Homo-oligomer: A and B are copies of this chain.
Amino acid sequence: MASLSYRDDSRQGAGGLSDDDDKPLPLDFTHHYSDTTKSRNASKIKAIYKFFQIPGILNIAGGLPNAQFFPYDTLEAQAAKPERWSPSSGSSNPSAPNHITIPHDDSTQKDLLQKIDLATALQYGMAQGYPPLLGWIRQFTRDHLHPGVPYKGGPEVVLTCGSTDGFAKALNLFVTPWRTTDPISSRPGLLCETYVYTNITNQATPLGVQMVPVKTDESGMAVSGPGGLEDVLANWDSSKGKRPHLMYTVTLGHNPTGILLSVERKKEIYAICSKYDVIIIEDEPYWYLQFPEASSLEAESRGLPPPPRSSPSTVTTPSSGFPFLDSLTPSFTPLDTDGRVVRLDTFSKTVAPGCRLGWITAQPALIERFERITEATTQQPSGFVQALISKLLISPPHPSPTPSFSLFSHRPPPNHQAGNRPAS
């Protein structure tokens, strides 16, 4: 069972930090839960699934079909090597693909976090996610993407069927649907930028949620001044609804304005959300599409002097272990002392939208509620996409990955050097 305990074996230090003991516990947000969220219990069926992963155990009660009758013997793919899109590839044939094969039954692999086969991927599974993919994303999120989450124990993750599904589940978690016959003072509100992705209003308004746009300038949501966030919350008129307890924001490549929210603005927004007890739902589909070197390459190609190097982060966080990740503009997560940030990630813009695969990062108590919602709705993302993405991420068959892809490795080296492959 040791290989199943990915929850506990790195719990003692988020991001491998040794100062976790000094961090505060995340706050309790049960007062923000919807009525349905409060009354959800764990699936009794899913509770026994974990035991089916023990080799040789009988599965009489779970309704699991015999995997020998799955009509696929393998799943395979021709998958791009990362060098295909690298401008400085040293590979002789960077466009040639690798052939990925997922066997029916990989009985040689005893570590369930490494075992990628159809007998497990196409079987009923756990709501949190397929163990190899969940384990990889969890570690990548905790150690590399968000190593500086400032609450004790660090965040947990749960897989989603993409971020539309993730946001639907966040509404399910935090919104009791409001009816026109209810008192107006109980009507829930959703803070957002002046312009908002149209799907968000399509999802929220049928639940009776009032969209509450905040004045937005070229740096994102305004904090002070008329129509800014503090003004909206401090001077809330409860004859128009309940003071919002939820915010939806896209901080990088905001849809449809393209705005990048500055780090200073993020700090100010977080402080106000903390003051007024607002949950922040941070939806970042475009976050990985940052090209820090683009402006200097552009200057070079135009024969101009290089632009001043802007520091992407004024938040002090531990290094992710990788220069590319360190260069990215910070999420709300390194500011999240309260545990009030629910971050939505997706493979839609980094692999393909048709994956319908993503994950939610949040404090453990919220992730536990998301798991209960998942058991009662989608159960788990399709095993076809979970297995094929696992194989793409976890077993890179190329011996010498480029720096931007060396983040797809299991652990950072003790002393990181860009371009070297971390020991795994």
Contact surface of A with B, Cβ cutoff 8 Å: 35-37, 39-41, 43-45, 63-65, 67, 69-80, 84-85, 97, 118, 121-125, 161-162, 164-165, 168, 176-177, 179, 198-199, 202-203, 205-208, 255, 348-349, 351-357, 375-386, 388, 392
With known contacts A203-B376, A356-B380, A80–B72 Cβ distance under 8 A: yes
Chain A facing B: main interface SS: mixed
CB distance from A74 to the nearest CB of B (A): 4
- Are B79 and A73 touching (Cβ within 8 A)? yes
- Are B78 and A353 touching (Cβ within 8 A)? no
Give the residue name and chain of the B residue nearest to A169 (CB). Answer: B377
7 more contacts with CB within 8 A, not counting A36-B177, A71-B84, A76-B76, are A65-B349, A65-B353, A70-B351, A122-B352, A122-B355, A161-B378, A165-B378
- When A and B form their complex, which 10 residue pairs have the shortest distance between CB atoms, in order from nearest? A354-B383, A122-B354, A122-B352, A73-B78, A76-B76, A71-B80, A384-B385, A382-B382, A384-B384, A382-B385
CB distance from A109 to the nearest CB of B (A): 18
Q: With A and B bound together, what is the CA distance between A287 and B154 in angstroms?
A: 46
Q: With A and B bound together, what is the CA distance between A208 and B177 in angstroms?
A: 13
- Are A168 and B199 touching (Cβ within 8 A)? no
With a CB–CB cut-off of 8 A, which chain B residues contact A64?
Answer: 353
CB distance from A408 to the nearest CB of B (A): 12
CB distance from A94 to the nearest CB of B (A): 13
Q: With A and B bound together, what is the CA distance between A107 and B76 in angstroms?
A: 22
Q: With A and B bound together, what is the CA distance between A203 and B377 in angstroms?
A: 8
Q: With A and B bound together, what is the CA distance between A376 and B383 in angstroms?
A: 22
With a CB–CB cut-off of 8 A, which chain B residues contact A72?
Answer: 77-80, 352, 388
CB distance from A357 to the nearest CB of B (A): 7
With known contacts A63-B255, A179-B35, A202-B44, A352–B123 Cβ distance under 8 A: yes
Q: With A and B bound together, what is the CA distance between A383 and B208 in angstroms?
A: 32
With a CB–CB cut-off of 8 A, which chain B residues contact A39?
Answer: 205-206
Most buried by B among A74, A354, A378, A382: A354
- Are B375 and A356 touching (Cβ within 8 A)? no
With known contacts A124-B354, A352-B123, A354-B122, A206–B40 Cβ distance under 8 A: yes
CB distance from A199 to the nearest CB of B (A): 6
Q: With A and B bound together, what is the CA distance between A250 and B286 in angstroms?
A: 44
- Are B353 and A122 touching (Cβ within 8 A)? yes
- Are A73 and B65 touching (Cβ within 8 A)? no
Q: With A and B bound together, what is the CA distance between A78 and B79 in angstroms?
A: 17
With known contacts A41-B202, A73-B97, A165–B379 Cβ distance under 8 A: yes
Q: With A and B bound together, what is the CA distance between A340 and B235 in angstroms?
A: 49
Q: With A and B bound together, what is the CA distance between A144 and B205 in angstroms?
A: 39
Q: With A and B bound together, what is the CA distance between A44 and B205 in angstroms?
A: 14
Q: With A and B bound together, what is the CA distance between A161 and B377 in angstroms?
A: 9
With a CB–CB cut-off of 8 A, which chain B residues contact A176?
Answer: 177, 179
The residue from B70, B164, B348 contacting A377, defined by CB atoms under 8 A apart: B164
Q: With A and B bound together, what is the CA distance between A74 and B75 in angstroms?
A: 11
The residue from B63, B198, B379 contacting A44, defined by CB atoms under 8 A apart: B198
With a CB–CB cut-off of 8 A, which chain B residues contact A177?
Answer: 35-36, 176-177
- Are A199 and B43 touching (Cβ within 8 A)? yes
- Are A356 and B376 touching (Cβ within 8 A)? no
Q: With A and B bound together, what is the CA distance between A207 and B78 in angstroms?
A: 45
With a CB–CB cut-off of 8 A, which chain B residues contact A35?
Answer: 177, 179, 208
Give the residue name and chain of the B residue nearest to A162 (CB). Answer: B379
